[in-house]
Amino acid sequence: MLPLVADMTDVAALASAIEAVGREHGRIDVLVNNAGLGANHDALEVTEADWDDMMAVNLKGLFFAAQAAARVMKPRGYGRIVNMSSQAGLVGIRRHAVYSASKGGVNLLTKVLALEWAPLGITVNAIAPTYIRTPGTAERLDTPEIAEDILARIPVGRFGTIDDVSAAVLYLASPAAGLVTGTILPLDGGWTAQ
């Protein structure tokens, strides 16, 4: 175990932390880009700071973490990168202009990296979850009117769970997904199928 702390907005520190993992273990097999910010903003109220903060973590930090990991993965000719996106990167959701833009960027970045790094033996995919029940979302999801509105848009009729997300990550990180790259896997109970 090599506990490291890295600020996703500090590209040099992020690269240094990932390189340290490569040195300590001699390789990196899997990177899960799971750090992210989320916030609701009316588009007319978004500030430059709102935009810059979210893009710095959700898109810029994700890219440079993937780049650093791919540099460690390249000599072995093997690696799995799983980026955390969102259904908000696939469909419009009111009050999510900045968040949706960042996750839409994650989706296209995932495709470009998959194309560039496939010849290196590195797959790059993304997961696009719906609302996931976590301690951080419980307050909103436990509000009856909010829950009712969200559940009306999810055909399977339930929120996602951490187990749903981890199962998708395990699949994309496994040998079973060796032919899967450049894919955005909606984990949304059918929200984006409508």
Name the residues annotated as catalytic.
Answer: 99
- Residue with the two structure tokens 């588009």: 43
**Quick check: 133 and 160 in contact, CB under 8 A?**
yes
What count of residues does the chain have? 194
- 131 burial level (CB within 10 Å; 0-12, 13-18, 19+): buried
- 162 burial level (CB within 10 Å; 0-12, 13-18, 19+): exposed
